[in-house]
Amino acid sequence: MAVYTEVSDDELRSFLLDYDIGEVVSFKGIAEGVENSNYLLQTVTSAEAEPKNYILTLYEKRVRPDELPYFLGLMDHLAENGLSCPTPIHGRDGAALRELSGRPAAIVSFLSGMWPRKATPLHCAELGAAMAHLHLTGASFEGHRDNNMSVSGWEKLVAATRDRADEVTPGLSDMIVGELDHISANWPLDLPQGVIHADLFPDNVFFLGDRLSGLIDFYFACNDALAYDIAICINAWCFEADASLNITKARALLRGYAAVRPLSRAEYDALPQLARGAALRFLLTRLYDWLNHDEAAFVRPKDPRQFLDRLRFHQQVDGPGAYGISYEDLNG
């Protein structure tokens, strides 16, 4: 989350006339993340009522307005089917998507909890189970969105960054070009497909104590290989500061997932390749943001070299057992 677009008091008051959520008592920007402008909105419906929290999002940058009905509809569907995630707030006319300060905008419910600054194996197990529930619940969602951050999207990012990539690390340009060639030739295409979150980093997963309380930020959600979501999470949750893989965390994540939705042999065998692709994807988007940083934004871009280290790890593994568990033990 972040703030790129400022909202005036008059604009906010006019915007809220279309909702039945009360009067504003607090409104402040949330300076985390990199994609959209987010505000914590607090309202009351009467003088005696307790204030209620919401998140107001103005959609920026990579989010296409014509894809927003998919994201908002998916959150409605998941929440209606028992997954803890933000629920879009619909106005008096039934619409959840509107415009504010020249940007598409929506209000969603507020989830209690905090994201873990230092993930534990227990966090990873909870995440794996919640991700599997998301995949199963998403199977009945009628919407469809192709993953524009898959191989074809990486090709565009390589083209946009290769001339300046060596400013970040010498030799990075040749490395990402070679890695893209390898992944393009070896990317698995026949794995089980469905709705994936595609961005389940720790700051998008809330906990109350050790129990997962909700998943947020569905604005990269799409239809793709379900196991690719697992590979993203291995990259996001299971590496230590020295770039080493924490086998215990990876094993807990995979076991938590498989306890809810067992992996096929093909999915398990594809994990090293999927993990390479996931590492390259976040290396490239962070590299692009690093090279094209908006100085007016309230948040600094994230260092792409973190995912370069993770990509190098995946390049060296000799099979899916490197992630901490055999197929037989995973589904035993």
Residue 115 lies in a domain: no
Q: Among candidates 196, 234, 240, 192, which has minimal Cα distance to 215?
A: 196
* Domain termination residue (choose one: 42, 76, 109): 109
Structural domain boundaries enclosing 141: 121-330
Residue 223 lies in a domain: yes
249-271: average pLDDT: 98
Cα 312-281-36 angle, rounded to 5 deg: 135
Distance of alpha carbon 222 from alpha carbon 274, whole angstroms: 16
Distance of alpha carbon 30 from alpha carbon 299, whole angstroms: 10
Give me the CATH number covering residue 51.
Answer: 3.30.200.20
Residue 278 lies in a domain: yes
pLDDT for 1 equals 46
**Surface-to-core class of residue 144, CB atoms within 10 Å of its CB (0-12 exposed, 13-18 middle, 19+ buried):** exposed
The mean predicted confidence, pLDDT, of the chain is: 93
Let me know whether 68 and 184 are in one domain.
no
Let me know whether 197 and 138 are in one domain.
yes
Let me know whether 139 and 280 are in one domain.
yes
Let me know whether 79 and 128 are in one domain.
no
Using one digit for the tens of pLDDT, what is the confidence trace for 20-41? Answer: 999 999 999 987 655 788 999 9
Q: Among candidates 227, 251, 273, which has minimal Cα distance to 323?
A: 251
Whether residue 203 has pLDDT greater than 50:
yes
Using one digit for the tens of pLDDT, what is the confidence trace for 223-238? Answer: 999 999 999 999 999 9
* Domain termination residue (choose one: 58, 79, 109): 109
pLDDT for 236 equals 97
Whether residue 2 has pLDDT greater than 70:
no
Which pair of tokens denotes residue 183?
A: 């992944």
pLDDT for 299 equals 62
Q: Among candidates 242, 249, 241, 244, which has minimal Cα distance to 128?
A: 249
Using one digit for the tens of pLDDT, what is the confidence trace for 285-300? Answer: 999 999 987 665 556 7
- DSSP H helix total and E strand total for the chain: 10, 9
Let me know whether 127 and 93 are in one domain.
no
104-130: average pLDDT: 96
Highest mean pLDDT among 4-13, 40-49, 212-221: 212-221
